[in-house]
Chains A and B, each alone.
Chain A
Amino acid sequence: MAVIELTQLSKWYGEVIGLNNVTAEIEHGITGLLGPNGAGKSTLMGLATGQLRPSKGGIRVFGESPWDNPSVISRIGYCPEGDPFWQKLTGFQFVVFLARMSGLQGASARRAAIDAIERTGMSANAGRAIRGYSKGMRQRIKIAQALVHSPELLILDEPFTGADPIARHELTNLFRELAAQGVHILVSSHVLHEVEAMTREMLMIDHGRIVAQGDVQAVRKSLLDRPHVIRVRVDQSRKLASQLVGWELVSGVSIPQPDTVLFETKSPEAAYERLNSTILSDGMNVQEIAAADESLEAVFGYLTHRESK
């Protein structure tokens, strides 16, 4: 069963569209929720955490509608994007307070808070008022708050914004660890490298609609109209380039740097095959062979780029 199930889901605010007729299933593990600003990511997260009510269609989390449904909401941990907390509380008070809100009592709330704060690496700063926290600390304490009631599903809205590289690194590791323990995670981020470091599963939305869903490389392969770009670093770049020009399956060749050849093809598998044998038979030495546009970044660019031509 899918963790989150969207069926013809729409949400609008007055005239403004948040999500438009979205049908998708979010499976277990970590899923990256991607899209430009204003694409509808936060709306989707708000719907999944039961804070927003669908205008039309349905959303199911663990098989039930989260709207006005405490039994589902208590299984979700949510880290919002903004700064929605009370600046005068200490980090510890804040987490304990939210632990109580999600139903933990007295000593167990305190224990859970200590534990969650420990996991996010905030133990040393938990006694200080949130007002004095750096952006990275705020992100960590917000994540501690989302973890405190041991949820089965974590929904994280831009959890890395403003965090320094150490925080980013540690939080990425924490999320991977949680996923390995069976926690489902839906995470949005503008820094695609970081999403890539956690997962290859993604849900990409733009203008309130689903643009693509699934494994990054599978999505790349299904973009049939986009020729693949292959980068070869080779000692005899001009010789290789002149060979490539003669091939039917190559649609473009360039030499951006003296030791690098870039070429475009719509049938990458045949191209790799022929490339490898050419390198061998013509006595060239190769430093690197790589697909230049299979990264999440490149795929994202293809999918959200508005064609003007």
Chain B
Amino acid sequence: MTMNYIFQCQQLTKNYGRIVALRGVTLGVQPGVVGLLGPNGAGKSTLFSVLLGQTPASSGAASVLGLDIRRQQRAIRRRVGFVPENDCLIPGMSGTGYVYFAGRLAGMSHADAMQRTHEVLDYVGMEEARYRSAEQYSTGMKQRLKLAQALVHDPDMLFLDEPTNGMDPQGRQVMLSLISDLGRAGISVIMSSHLLPDVERVCERVVIMGGGEVLTEGRLEEMNKPHPTLYRVEFTGDGASFHRRLTDVSVRVLEQAESSLQIALPEEGTQRLVLQAARDSGARLFGLHPKRSSLEETFMAAIQRQRAP
């Protein structure tokens, strides 16, 4: 077993009666910020639950931070934090009281839990509101409070279930920058999300699940690698003349719209040809974008491959 994985599964299977939630998942995930994607019913929540040692696996083995999920549940939970999707607030508690309670549950002493509570609430940007009853918080504040609750005992790894769901763009922005910062601080994060743009923004790696199986796993950078020769060009000016000039230097035009062109360069590293053609034709070029497959395309392709018989 390599210690370099934040979690590792071998033939991990979970059945609920006849329903198979996890179907022999074999996976090793390296440290960093990891996105866990998949349609509803893909098995993401079950995977979280099994890795947190809440639900016993039907068969197979798994470890989190090198600890066995069957025999070392409590040791795992001392080193991980979990942010559930639902509100999960206890009525009548202030923000401070809630985080403090979470710290005590993790096994911290009174003094440690108090200090750390204020430290993490500062970190998530909760000001005076921390003394107010948490029931009155906005969605964004609740989400940050839940994050604080998961961070209070300084875990080495965080499980986030839909951390940006239902939040407005500003709230998401704040949440995503916190997640990135945690990644930089050396805390591995695994977040499930339906919001692919959010995953694209913060995650280094993604795992795509479907029907209880892992469909794709890898570095986002590799998945979204820019294409070496396919480009989209944005310009203003004489399209026809620009098109001609491009064809003259053997750049193929694949698609032409009013102010943009899809092109294929003759070979890698010949982007200068496009700039030259623009200058020669008098077109004003204001965008040169290599084609890259978005996470959405990767996701859809993976799901379709699986659904095809």
* Chain A contacts to B: CB under 8 angstroms: 35-37, 134-137, 161-169, 190-193, 268-269, 272-273, 276-277, 279-280, 285-291, 297, 300-301, 304
Contact = CB atoms under 8 A, between A and B. Distances in A.
A167 to B, nearest CB: 8
Nearest to A137: B40
Nearest to A230: B286
14 contacts: A37-B140, A135-B40, A161-B165, A163-B194, A165-B296, A166-B303, A169-B300, A190-B167, A190-B172, A280-B279, A287-B226, A288-B289, A289-B286, A300-B169
B139 A37 contact: yes
Interface size class of B (residues with CB under 8 A): 35 or more
B194 A37 contact: no
A57 B269 CA distance: 60
A166 B41 CA distance: 12
A164 B40 contact: yes
Given A136-B40, A287-B290, A269 B284 contact: yes
A161 B285 CA distance: 38
B199 to A, nearest CB: 10
B285 A272 contact: yes
Contact of B284 (A162, A168, A273): A273
Given A163-B194, A165-B37, A37 B272 contact: no
B194 A285 contact: no
A297 B153 CA distance: 34
A236 B269 CA distance: 13
Contacts of B275: 276, 279-280, 286
Describe A's contact surface by its main secondary structure: helix
Contacts of B303: 166
Contacts of A169: 296, 300
Contact of A190 (B39, B166, B300): B166
B271 interface: yes
B196 interface: yes
Contacts of A286: 271-272, 275, 288
B44 to A, nearest CB: 10
Interface of B: 37-41, 138-140, 165-173, 194-197, 226, 269, 271-272, 275-276, 278-279, 284-290, 296, 299-300, 303
Contacts of B165: 161-162
B299 A165 contact: yes
Contacts of B168: 35-37, 190
B23 to A, nearest CB: 18
Given A280-B272, A300-B169, 12 more contacts: A35-B168, A137-B40, A161-B165, A164-B194, A165-B194, A166-B303, A191-B197, A279-B275, A289-B287, A289-B289, A290-B287, A301-B169
B226 to A, nearest CB: 7
Contacts of A134: 40-41
Contacts of A191: 195, 197
A288 B225 CA distance: 13
Nearest to B208: A165
B39 A166 contact: yes
A272 B284 contact: yes
Contacts of B37: 165
B289 to A, nearest CB: 6
A35 B168 CA distance: 8
Contacts of B226: 287-288
A35 B171 CA distance: 12
Contact of B39 (A162, A165, A290): A165
A191 B284 CA distance: 32
